[in-house]
Structure 1
Amino acid sequence: MQLVSSGGRRLRHAALVARELALETGRTVTRKELSAAAREAAKALNLKSGARWVLSELVACWGEQEWDRLLVWPSNDYLVTRTGKSERAIRAAFRVLIDLQLIVPKESPNGKRYAVKDLAGEIIDAFGFDLTPVYARRGEWAERLIEQKQAREARKRAFDEITIARRAAEEALSALAEHHPELDRSDLEEQVKGLKARTPARSMKVMPHDALDQWTALRRACEEAFLKAGNGGEIRRHTNNNNGSPSKPCNKSFPKKAEAVRSIEQTSEHLSPELILEACPTLSDYGQPVRDLADIVSAGRYLRASLGAHESAWAEAVEEVGPVRAAIAVIYVLQLYEDDAAKNGGESRIKNPGGYFRAMVRMVKAGKIDLAVELLAMRRRRMS
């Protein structure tokens, strides 16, 4: 059985809980303050339009009396006129607001809503709805809104990572098709197509954890396929051919102004400025003479912006593989981008060269790509 209040409204547990909320002693709430709390509550609770409009009109009826409870008493007819909703919709909105502990009904003996006046005609009490919970819980609304903002940011980051992984996978397959058209890549292409269909849209308010894991794995598979194809079916790691004494500095043959290059960085003897210039004529965009590795580093730092890569990408690359290989990776990716654009009527299939650069650096660090081998292959293709 359900208990029924004296005014005929069914008693709800939420109304009893909300009734315990109170204002600070001596606190006078203005309509502007109450309206701001109501807007935050509507956002925090994701109120639908009907309940949101009714709550807004209830707040507008607050007369800023110096009471310990925020009482309003508009009739259903008044609310129907103000909101354009039917009386049935108004009653449904009341139930929602009561269940969410936003308002508390204060019933009169006859079930009507009205003000109680003293002999002088001053309003001293009222029967209607108590809006005290809306204002008393304003700290809760602020916390919920912060949590929702953090959740939106986390969801955005997850979808951004999915976009990066998807583009990298598609670029790896495009490179595989361009450089190794004889290899069967249909299985990977079907996986990309199927995963794109299953990936939720950004507009959906879900956390795409599963999709992100799947795209990360698929990106790795596509890049591994391209890597293995470029190395004759094998993944070769860079070998250090420095047989000299470990006490001797490995950069002793560098020009003096190349001393800015980290002394711990062991650069392949094949990564000479001459090779880079022959393989990557785009280096001429630097506009300065390139005579040694120090000039290569300067050129790479300058041309980084041409890839659309953020400055943090350059800093990460320098930290991971050293300034020389970071600069060569910039120049190499820029040349790939321009070569592909030249072959496809000015539109490159590498849609995100900055992301391609980051991926290249990671593979260089992991030993999956040898920049000297890639430059030699690029020079050979250019000279053939």
Structure 2
Amino acid sequence: METVHSGGRPLTRAALAGRRRALEDGRTVSRRELSAAGRDAAKALNLRPALRSILSALCAVWGEQDWERLVVWPSNEHLCGMTGLSERALRYGLRDLVALEVITPRDSANGKRFAIRGPGGAVIDAYGFDLTPIVARKGEWATAIMEATARDAQRSRAFDLLTVRRRAVSEALAALRARFPATDAADLLAAQEALERSTPRRRASGVGPDVVLDAWGELQVMAEDRFYQAASAGNSGRHLEQDTGSPTDPCARAPEKEPEPTRRPEPSLVAAACPVAAEFGVTLRREADVIEIGRLMRGGIGAHPSAWSEACEALGPFRASVLVLIVAQLHDDDVRRGEIRIKNPGGYFRQLVRLCSEGRYGLEAELMAMRRRKMT
């Protein structure tokens, strides 16, 4: 004996899995809650626009019946009018939502969708689509969204760091060509061109810069070291004249002792005083880490590139980076307290650079004071 179905569908594992999803005993669901869970499902599964429209339409027709299952029975014609899709696109979309275990079909004997009404005309049951899995998997949607948000934030920070390193390489090579044209930098330029070809773009979905991030960091170190060696002519430090008097004057005075350079603060002290640097996911263990974060946060405080260049020339990249972190931390503290004491962080950075170069601003003392305020 052969059974003929009108509008039926083949049984799938996803459909059976959807039937096993259930709500807690006595749980009631509003249309607003169902729609919010539907939006979370669309975001967690990264649904294409057509599927989002169908899912939103199915949630919108839920009548808030006090049933154990969230069943809706809109016709294809009604759903096409709500979504603007063709009937073929709608059928494919419903099939995909069932395969994703977002909805599950509840077919009647003839495969049609309709409501069953009691003697008084009240709807007591229905055949159509069961939306229970949307709410039953609400925790899964929240976890998936949280993980996706963390991945996006990590990817964004990685691209920010990549931009900083690419810019540092370009600046070092440009300065090398402008100030020391006799220095050979062909190998560095070739490496830069090769990396540019293999570097992914930020807009490329799903592609991260992790593959080339370390390579750009190594090229940055090589380019800056080449510039440093060219600028110092291979000497590790400045030449000090030991005898400043006349060679024929037997009573020439001994040269005055040069002032000792100011002490450089430890990266651990910088990290403790300026926790705002931790937002970029880099632990300040070495001076190179401080310099890297300083370059990255320079634009965030509104400091012009010329201000950064002047600071590096007057104080060195490390102290300039520490000043950037100090300004960023002070401004962040003001924002958290609801105060606006530093109205122009970029101008404040220039002022600190000038005071520090004149010896009127102690970096280590300021960092220790900021650390004490964080501990109290």
Please give the TM-score of this superposition, normalised by the length of structure 2: 0.64
Q: Alpha-carbon deviations, 1:11-62, whole Å to 9, x = none?
A: 1111111111101111110000000000010011011111110111111110
Aligned pairs, how many?
Answer: 273
Is the Cα–Cα contact under 8 Å of residues 5 and 111 in structure 2 kept in the other structure? no
Q: Which amino acid aligns with 1:22?
A: A
Displacement of 1:164 in angstroms is 1.1
Q: What secondary structure is seen at the aligned counterpart in 1 of 2:93? A: helix
Displacement of 1:272 in angstroms is 6.6
**Using the alignment, how far apart are the partners of 2:24 and 2:119 within structure 1?**
29
1:361 match: 318
Cα 1:320–1:187 change in 2 (3 A) is closer
Displacement of 1:198 in angstroms is 2.2
Q: Alpha-carbon deviations, 1:289-323, whole Å to 9, x = none?
A: xxxx79xx9xxxxxxxxxxx99969xx9x9978xx
Is the Cα–Cα contact under 8 Å of residues 29 and 64 in structure 2 kept in the other structure? yes
Is the Cα–Cα contact under 8 Å of residues 168 and 355 in structure 1 kept in the other structure? no
Q: Which amino acid aligns with 2:189?
A: E
1:164 match: 164
1:186 match: 186
1:138 match: 138
Alignment partner of 1:231 is 2:188: no
Q: Alpha-carbon deviations, 1:185-235, whole Å to 9, x = none?
A: 12212322332232111112322111101111111111121122233346x
**Using the alignment, how far apart are the partners of 2:142 and 2:165 within structure 1?**
35
**Using the alignment, how far apart are the partners of 1:147 and 1:163 within structure 2?**
24
**Using the alignment, how far apart are the partners of 1:87 and 1:174 within structure 2?**
60
Percent identity, aligned pairs only?
44
**Using the alignment, how far apart are the partners of 2:311 and 2:6 within structure 1?**
68
1:86-97 mapped onto 2 (5 Å cutoff): 86-97=86-97
**Using the alignment, how far apart are the partners of 1:95 and 1:175 within structure 2?**
60
**Using the alignment, how far apart are the partners of 1:146 and 1:118 within structure 2?**
44
**Using the alignment, how far apart are the partners of 2:129 and 2:211 within structure 1?**
46
Gaps of at least 5 residues in structure 1 are 240-268, 274-292, 298-308, 330-346, 365-384
Gaps of at least 5 residues in structure 2 are 240-256, 266-273, 295-303, 322-376
| Worse overlay, 20-29 or 189-198 | 189-198
**Using the alignment, how far apart are the partners of 1:320 and 1:238 within structure 2?**
24
Q: Alpha-carbon deviations, 1:47-78, whole Å to 9, x = none?
A: 11111101111111100000000000000111
Cα 1:195–1:5 change in 2 (3 A) is farther
Is the Cα–Cα contact under 8 Å of residues 18 and 133 in structure 2 kept in the other structure? yes
2:20 match: 20
Cα 1:95–1:271 change in 2 (3 A) is farther
1:73-84 mapped onto 2 (5 Å cutoff): 73-84=73-84
Displacement of 1:117 in angstroms is 1.1
**Using the alignment, how far apart are the partners of 2:117 and 2:34 within structure 1?**
24
Is the Cα–Cα contact under 8 Å of residues 308 and 320 in structure 2 kept in the other structure? no
Q: What secondary structure is seen at the aligned counterpart in 1 of 2:155? A: helix
Is the Cα–Cα contact under 8 Å of residues 7 and 107 in structure 1 kept in the other structure? no
Displacement of 1:120 in angstroms is 1.9
1:209 match: 210
**Using the alignment, how far apart are the partners of 1:18 and 1:354 within structure 2?**
64
Q: What secondary structure is seen at the aligned counterpart in 1 of 2:96? A: helix
Is the Cα–Cα contact under 8 Å of residues 312 and 320 in structure 2 kept in the other structure? no
Is the Cα–Cα contact under 8 Å of residues 7 and 108 in structure 1 kept in the other structure? no
1:78-157 mapped onto 2 (5 Å cutoff): 78-157=78-157
Q: Which amino acid aligns with 1:56?
A: S
User: Cα RMSD over matched residues?
Assistant: 3.8
**Using the alignment, how far apart are the partners of 1:14 and 1:189 within structure 2?**
55
Is the Cα–Cα contact under 8 Å of residues 51 and 97 in structure 2 kept in the other structure? yes
**Using the alignment, how far apart are the partners of 1:64 and 1:228 within structure 2?**
75
Is the Cα–Cα contact under 8 Å of residues 164 and 355 in structure 1 kept in the other structure? no
Is the Cα–Cα contact under 8 Å of residues 102 and 134 in structure 2 kept in the other structure? yes
Is the Cα–Cα contact under 8 Å of residues 73 and 115 in structure 1 kept in the other structure? yes
1:64 match: 64
2:340 match: none
Is the Cα–Cα contact under 8 Å of residues 103 and 129 in structure 1 kept in the other structure? yes
Alignment partner of 1:31 is 2:34: no
Displacement of 1:118 in angstroms is 1.5
Please give the TM-score of this superposition, normalised by the length of structure 1: 0.63
1:254-269 mapped onto 2 (5 Å cutoff): none
Displacement of 1:178 in angstroms is 2.8
Q: What secondary structure is seen at the aligned counterpart in 2 of 1:127? A: strand
Is the Cα–Cα contact under 8 Å of residues 167 and 352 in structure 1 kept in the other structure? no
Cα 1:185–1:354 change in 2 (3 A) is same
